[in-house]
Every structure is written in structure tokens, then in C-alpha cells.
Amino acid sequence: MIDNEYELIIKDIDSSEEFQKTKEIVHHGMNRYDHSKRVSLYSYKIAKKLGLSYEEVARAALLHDFFLVDNKNISVKEKANTLVNHPKYALKYSEKFFYLTEKEKDIIVTHMFPIAPTRVPKYAESWLVDIVDDVVAIIEEVQVKKRQILSMANFFIVLLLTI
């Protein structure tokens, strides 16, 4: 269901040419755009219920993985490096295109705490996005695995029927 207030808060980011490029980048077996929108919308809804700064949460969560390095084009070593450092990449890239408040910067740069060696999140909003991102990532990975298992099962059933 479309949330008009949410859509208005993120409109300038979502409609920007640069952010649209995240649709082309594979992320958790899906694409970075869908992942970011999911983390942003869920975080926004929870922030609103908890009385937190939901506008900052919606915008920063949308930008939390905003960088254009595609894991499928880099080495294993670079992948490990990206896993640890991408919150910094995302902050740098986001600042290049959008104005960010101090809280938004904190949300982006600490969203991988404690895996990435950035500082401890300063705000409740940062903790919220950190947790929502983890939960969404797990759900996405499970969905991708489920789809792979189903398509393998499908393949073997078709194979059995043709012998």
C-alpha cells in the first residue's frame, strides 16, 4: 500500500537519476534499490510508531547502501573490503548529491555496527536502521535461497518426467 507521506519525504532522492542506478546493482541476490526502499519504508513506519525522527530515518535508511560498486564485478578481497567499508562509501556518495543532517550521517555511517569498524551509533534512529537492515537482509537472503531450491526442485521434477 502506498504511503503518500513517506513517498513525499523521499521523493527527491528516489527520483534522482543517480539513485535510480541502484536498480542495476545486485544486492542480497536482488537489487540494491529494492533493498534500500524496503529498509527505508520499514524503518520509517517503526520510527513513526516510536515517536522518533521518522523523516530523517526514511531518508537516511534509503541512502544507507547508496554507492555504486557492484559485488559481481570485484574480487573476493575487494568484496570483504566493501563489506566493512561500504557505510563510509555510502556516506561520501550521499553527501555528494544530497543535503544530510548530522543524524542522517550517523544513521548511514553506523548502519553496519558492530561488523564495520565505524563508531557506535549515537541515536536511537541509528540503532533502529541498523537492526531493520539486518532483519531485511536475512529475509532477502532466505527468499533468494528458497527460490533457488524451488527452481532446482523444478528442474529435477521436469528431468524425471522426461526420462
Site residues (vs Fe ion, CB under 5 A): 65, 133
- Residue with smaller CB distance to Fe ion, 55 or 65: 65
3 state DSSP class of 27: strand
122-157 burial, b if ≥16 CB within 10 A, otherwise e? Answer: ebebbbbbbebbeebbeebeeeeeeeeeeeeeeeee
- Residue with smaller CB distance to Fe ion, 56 or 65: 65
Mode of pairing for the β-strands spanning 26-27 and 30-31 = antiparallel
Shortest Cβ 146–Fe ion spacing (Å):
20
Shortest Cβ 159–Fe ion spacing (Å):
37
96: Cβ contacts below 8 Å, ≥ 6 apart? none
- Residue with smaller CB distance to Fe ion, 80 or 156: 80
